Amino acid sequence: MMGDENGKRVTDNNSIVENLTLTDESNPAGVPEDAVVLQEYQPVVTPEMFNIFINEALELFEEAEAALLELEKSPGNREFIEQVFHSFKGNAGFLGYRDYEILSHSAENIFEDIRNGRSQLNEETISVLLSVIDVMREGIRELKLGEAADLPGKGILIDLLII
């Protein structure tokens, strides 16, 4: 159920359809004219939050790298590696580090492709994932030193991850 312009509950289908926001060429998103446009979320990142992010990222990358190297020898717990990329993606996204979020999301997606049979976890895939970790680890080290948050070469790695 939904409400009309006065907030009165509308219960019949014809009234519901009449009260829906319509889209047209002048308003393709169907956004009401009086809608408030919110600014993009900009989190307040304290030095403590930043340091925790940096330290956790470096630790996660070390663990993921070791797990990937172990996978090269014998198939094992790839869920852990997927979880590393997932956790890092969330942390990077929350703190506004978009390049890191995008790259870790692409790395995370390869595991979905493996589960769904669209890809295989082989030496080539592991090599690309190790490269992703190397690039992100180097980027995190640069962030720690106050350098830019972008990741040069991100696009090439994403292309290698897309099947």
The amino acid at residue 145 is: L
The token duo for 113 is 């492709």
> How far is 84 from 159, CA to CA, in rounded Å?
20
pLDDT in tens, 20-65: 444 455 555 555 566 665 566 677 889 999 999 999 999 999 999 9
Domain boundaries, the chain: 1-37, 47-161
**Neighbouring C-alpha atoms within 13 Å toward the C-beta of 125:** 20
pLDDT of residue 86: 93
Fold of 47-161: Four Helix Bundle (Hemerythrin (Met), subunit A) (1.20.120)
> How far is 1 from 86, CA to CA, in rounded Å?
36
User: Cβ of 68: how many Cβ atoms within 10 Å?
Assistant: 22
pLDDT of residue 72: 79
Helix (H) or strand (E) holding 2: strand 2-3
Evaluate whether 9 touches 1 at the Cβ level (below 8 Å): yes
The amino acid at residue 28 is: P
The token duo for 3 is 């409400």
pLDDT in tens, 111-160: 888 888 888 888 899 999 999 999 999 999 999 998 877 777 777 888 87
Q: Could you tell me which of 53, 57, 80, 79 has the C-alpha nearest to residue 133?
A: 57
